[in-house]
Structure 1
């Protein structure tokens, strides 16, 4: 009887955890359409037939260096306009302590964040940034200084309307060719990610 009670209790606990995990998880999406593009406007307004929207998306290019993506966080009113401003590849180390390991090189991506939401933004933006190469290998950021300019702060706090600008550094193998950069709010846990072509 005691074994049966334990099995039932364990089953109920596992079912509860699965339900909680499902409820917490949203629908992940990757935004590639620059702010102000025809496709982005049609998506926001819900205008046009599905065929017209498809034609608009085909005409619009995916975001690249210099383009801005409007991203949302997990909480209502948590929104950023994120721009990949510049790319430094290879990036030269700013000091003797932040050189990449043998066989690797540093790549810097300069991000600009503008708080377009209705509440303050507080995060460590590096945690939500990634690079991917042509093979699909993904690289997370590393804390390093480069000569291209100041690093993005690891403790960004922005009131609505305020902005932050800084370099996020990645360490990649010397033979790897980064082709996309991604950014998601809430240290990368937000359901919506932005993606920029770097080539």
Structure 2
């Protein structure tokens, strides 16, 4: 007489997720970045795919000679550099300031506007980036915030941050 076979064990969604999580998280990077968000501007044909590729916290300022008698370092502030990849997917030329288009939010709800400050993390975007349709650019936007501020999210919107369509990346 044959013994009945025990039922096959089915993998639950949690088990499958636990098996896939390392692969999924590895694709995003240790800072939770990697997601591409399509954004539209206020004018017809303004479309940009924006990818948050890296967050460097803290970012060291690039070495520059300080003017005599100046004290540019403050112990109460730190720099955070955020790298974006911009791809013009629209039919209009993209011409804008990525620094003015970017904001960093801390866990207290404070909002910090980006700058073109150069850091050792990598090259900053220029004041104005111009991309023909199909063009792309990679660069950093830098934020100055208090040392004790905890990062919560990064936001990006076309038209110097004034477009209604806002990309939002939560930070771990």
Please give the range of the TM-score, normalised by the shorter of the 2 chains: 0.7 to 0.9
Give the match for residue 118 of structure 2: 145
Higher helix share: 1
* Aligned partner of 1:167 among 119, 128, 140: 140
Equivalent residue for 1:128? 101
Alpha-carbon distance between aligned partners in 2 of 1:152 and 1:175, rounded to the nearest angstrom: 26
Please state how far the C-alpha of 1:100 moved relative to its aligned partner: 5.1
- How far did 1:179 drift? 1.2
Aligned mate of 2:33, from 47, 61, 65: 65
TM-score normalised according to structure 2 size: 0.75
| CA-based RMSD | 1.7
1:89 aligns with 2:57: yes
2:168 paired with 1:195? yes
Corresponding position of 1:74: 42
Q: Is 2:82 the counterpart of 1:104?
A: no
C-alpha distance in 1 between matches for 2:97 and 2:54: 20
- Residue 100 of structure 1 contacts residue 106 of structure 1 at CA under 8 Å; is this kept in 2? no
Is structure 2 residue 155 aligned with structure 1 residue 182?
A: yes
Change in 2 beyond 3 A, CA 1:147/1:73: same
Aligned residue for 2:113, secondary structure, equals: strand
Q: State the TM-score, normalized to the length of structure 1.
A: 0.66
CA contact (8 A) 1:131 1:181 kept: yes
* 1:175 counterpart SS class: coil
Give 2:23's aligned residue.
none
CA contact (8 A) 1:132 1:180 kept: yes
CA–CA distance in structure 1, aligned partners of residues 143 and 164 of structure 2: 22
3-state SS of 2:99 partner: helix
Q: CA deviation at 1:143?
A: 3.0
Residue ranges of structure 1 left out of the alignment (5+ in a row): 1-62
In structure 2, do the counterparts of structure 1 residues 100 and 113 end up closer, same or farther at CA, with 3 Å as the change threshold?
farther
